Amino acid sequence: MLISENLHMLLSVLADGRFHSGTALAQLLNVSRSAVWKQLQSLAELGLEFNAVSGKGYKLEQPLQLLDQSQIEANLTPAARALLHQIEIHSVISSTNTYLLDLAKKTQVSGWVCLAEYQTAGKGRRGRTWVSPFGHNIYLSILWCYQDGPAAIAGLSLAVGVAVVRALQQMGVDDVGLKWPNDIYWKERKLAGILIEVSGESSGPCHAVIGLGMNLYLPPQQAEVIDQAWVDLQQILGEQVMLQRNLWVAALLNQLLPVIADFENQSLPEYLQEWRSFDCMLGKQVTIFIGQQRFDGVVKGIDDQGLLLLADATGQLRAFASGEVSFRTV
């Protein structure tokens, strides 16, 4: 769906989480009160819940901080700012990753950042949909051009995971873990996910789009479709998180941009020890699915190439380059 200018203005007013009368909203938008009601009805399509109380007016269930480029850039470090080419903020987009993959066909630029308030087709790993209610979470993708081909950036998702954990710790989140190959967990519940998509020549220049989805607040109704244990930052840090969204984006970019920019030069070994210190699967019973095949065992960490090491019931060690990993209740 498209967001009209009136609907965007309405959201900007209601973002404070306070009651606003129908009369005041109608005057602001220069429309009738029935037109205001019609606009409010469309909020449900964006995953937004609102309250209507006679004599008080309308308010959002949760206050929002809409994305603001100037606020984000004001909180960037000089190092991150130097690596940033451009920030694009979309009210509605199919997927921030898809947008930058299309852009990569037209440009060799690195440091292009795409953010969205709402994704109609947010992408998770293996074709899953990423739940993307309007204005609640962070949907962020970064485009970067690498000169030496996909092989030179093997393991990039592990380095990106380290960067995300650094940002979380800097913002006061403890007990963060990394689940191979690219999920960020908090006390065995998923907080964020990374999706890296690469296009270009096998032995020449290639583009990587590094996508990150992070839960700030997931409304219960929206979270019903999620089939795994999850958590959001509001549960961890409290309601103030929703009013710090631009600060969180800046904190992530401050860590992500230098890691992404330097990876081709530093490569995976620079991040392995730090990644291992956050490994939340080490010693856990897990199941790995590769296509129709299933492998059960105990995680023994990752090797120097970033492959997952799994010991089966006989103690035999096997390395996995990819696969869907599920914790197993014992």
Whether the per-residue pLDDT at 150 is higher than 90: the answer is no
For residue 57, what are the β-bridge partners?
A: 53
Q: Does 329 have pLDDT greater than 60?
A: no
Cβ atoms of residues 285 and 296 within 8 Å:
yes
Backbone torsions φ then ψ of 52, nearest 5 degrees: -120, 120
Higher pLDDT, 128 or 305: 305
Rounded to an integer, what distance in angstroms lies between the CA atom of residue 265 and that of residue 153?
A: 10
Which pLDDT belongs to residue 330? Answer: 44
pLDDT bracket for residue 124 (50, 70, 90): low
Is 240 annotated in some ligand binding site? Answer: no
Does the annotation list 95 as a binding residue? yes
Annotated binding residue 96: yes
Query: 251 vs 39, which has greater pLDDT?
Result: 251
The catalytic residue among 59, 81, 190, 284 is 190
Class of domain 285-327: mainly beta
Q: Report pLDDT for 126.
A: 52
What radius of gyration do the chain's Cα atoms show?
21
| Mean per-residue pLDDT over the chain, rounded | 89
**pLDDT score of 248:** 97
Q: Is 328 a catalytic residue?
A: yes
Catalytic residue among 81, 125, 189, 284: 125
Average pLDDT of span 249-262? 97
Q: How far apart are CA 301 and CA 279, in angstroms?
A: 7
CATH class of the 69-277 domain in this structure? alpha beta
Q: In this predicted structure, what is the pLDDT of residue 170?
A: 96
- The annotation status of 314 as a binding-site residue, yes or no, is no
Strand pairing category for 206-214 and 308-311: unpaired
d(CA 169, CA 65): 22
pLDDT of 201 above 80: no
Query: What pLDDT was estimated at residue 2?
Result: 64
User: Residue 257: which of 66, 73, 105 has the closest Cα?
Assistant: 73
Average pLDDT score over residue span 170-185:
94
Least confident of 243-247, 280-284, 289-293: 289-293
Which member of 18, 56, 276, 328 is catalytic?
328
The first and second tokens of residue 44, run together, are: 């449900």
| 5-60: CATH, from 3.30.390.50, 3.40.50.300, 3.40.47.10, 1.10.10.10 | 1.10.10.10
* Top-confidence range, 20-29, 125-134, 193-202, 243-252: 243-252
Residue 81 falls in the annotated catalytic set: no
- Domain residue limits, the chain: 5-60, 69-277, 285-327
Greater confidence, 152 or 323?
A: 152
Q: Is the pLDDT of residue 213 over 50?
A: yes
**Average pLDDT of span 103-107:** 91
- pTM beyond 0.85: the answer is yes
More confident residue, 77 or 315: 77
Q: Is 128 a catalytic residue?
A: no
Residue 264 has pLDDT above 90, yes or no: no
Tokens linked to 62? 């949760």
pLDDT category at 71 given cuts 50, 70, 90 is: very high
H or E segment at 37? helix 33-41
